[in-house]
Amino acid sequence: MKTIFLGMLMFPGGFIFAQTGNFGINTDQPVAKFDIVSKDNSGSTKALKISNSNLNEKITVLSNGNIGINSASPGSQLNIDPGSTTKSALKINTISTTNGRQNADINYNIFSPLAADDSGNVFTQTDIRSNDNAITFDGSYTTSGATNKILCTVNSGSILGFTVYTPFFQGQNGVGVSKYATVTWSRGSGFIIGAKGHDFGNNNVNNLTLTGSGTNKLTFDVQNGDDLIFEITGGNLVYRQVDSNTGTGRSEPFNILKSFRSK
């Protein structure tokens, strides 16, 4: 025989109602095993609060849907405060690696990885194929002395990615030498070098040297004293080429490939 339990407990400002196995607070028609209806939709009213034995608030759900873990006044949809710089705020186990392309069920062509800004806000990096505000700046460019020239504008939340290809003449028997590097930039990380290389043997004295990783100024030392510089300044990604030994400018061609700027 199946037992059906009906019960209701009144209290000032609301009621608790249990019916057919569902338990409701402030609702007489609970549609879930535990159904809470808050008093309003504001961000100042708490629909749920869970504290530890020291009465420290650990889990908070506001009436506007914001959830706080170790945060009594969550200002975002999910606000996590680890409470310590030595404790991780979030850990995700058993996730696929996009670098290895190991999971055949995932369409990696539309995968947009997560990024975080300096304030701890986590957001999805923009897929430029579906974002009207994203741009590319592929093309052939020529440096004009030591004067800054603009590649593209940069916003505070922009993420940049591009490959630099430099078919410079290195002055060794008039042989042209191609050098390249893949680069990304974001406000929190600065320039990051993904890969670099050249089309001659490692015994060549003019191996490509890059400096400035993690900063807003990236220098390609394409031969001794010959520097191709990329820099974030004045809201722009700019480039220039200069002989660092004399301070004079140089004029050489280079190409930008596979570029994007989100936001």
Candidates 230, 255, 256; CA nearest to 136 is: 256
Q: Which of 58, 55, 116 is nearest to 83 (CA)?
A: 58
Which pLDDT score is estimated for 3?
45
Residues paired with residue 230 on neighbouring β-strands, in sequence order: 218, 239
Helix residue ranges per DSSP H, the chain: none
State residue 254's pLDDT score: 84
The pLDDT assigned to 215 comes to 94
pLDDT of residue 125: 58
48 and 36 Cβ atoms separated by less than 8 Å:
yes
Give the domain ranges of the chain: 1-37, 40-83, 139-261
pLDDT tens string 187-216 = 878 999 887 776 655 445 456 678 899 999
Residue 202 is predicted with a pLDDT of 47
Nearest to 80 by CA among 120, 23, 48: 120
| Distance between CA atoms of residues 69 and 31, nearest Å | 26
Each residue of 86-140: pLDDT tens digit?
Answer: 777 777 776 555 555 555 665 555 545 666 665 666 766 555 555 666 788 888 8
**Long-range pairs for 166-175: beta carbons < 8 A, 24 or more residues apart:** 166/220, 166/222, 166/228, 166/252, 166/254, 166/255, 167/253, 167/254, 167/255, 168/222, 168/223, 168/226, 168/252, 168/254, 170/204, 170/206, 170/222, 170/223, 171/223, 172/204, 172/206, 175/200
Model pLDDT, residue 24: 81
Three-state SS at 127: coil
Q: For residue range 145-184, what is the model confidence (pLDDT) as tens digits? A: 788 999 999 887 788 889 888 765 444 444 455 678 889 9
Q: What is the pLDDT of residues 19-69, one digit of tens each?
A: 677 888 888 788 888 888 888 887 778 888 999 999 889 999 998 989 999
CATH dotted code for 139-261: 2.60.40
So what's the pLDDT on residue 169? Answer: 45
**Cβ-defined contacts of 115-122 (< 8 Å, 24+):** 115/159, 115/186, 115/188, 116/188, 117/157, 117/187, 117/188, 118/187, 118/188, 120/89, 121/76
Q: Please state, rounded to an integer, the average pLDDT across all residues of the chain.
A: 75
What is the rounded distance in angstroms from the CA atom of residue 26 to the CA atom of residue 12?
11
**What's the CA gap between 258 and 164, in Å, rounded?**
9
- Please name which of 261, 258, 262, 240 lies closest in space to residue 249, comparing C-alpha atoms: 240
Q: Are 220 and 227 in contact (CB under 8 A)?
A: yes
Please give the Cα distance from 243 to 168 (Å, whole number).
14
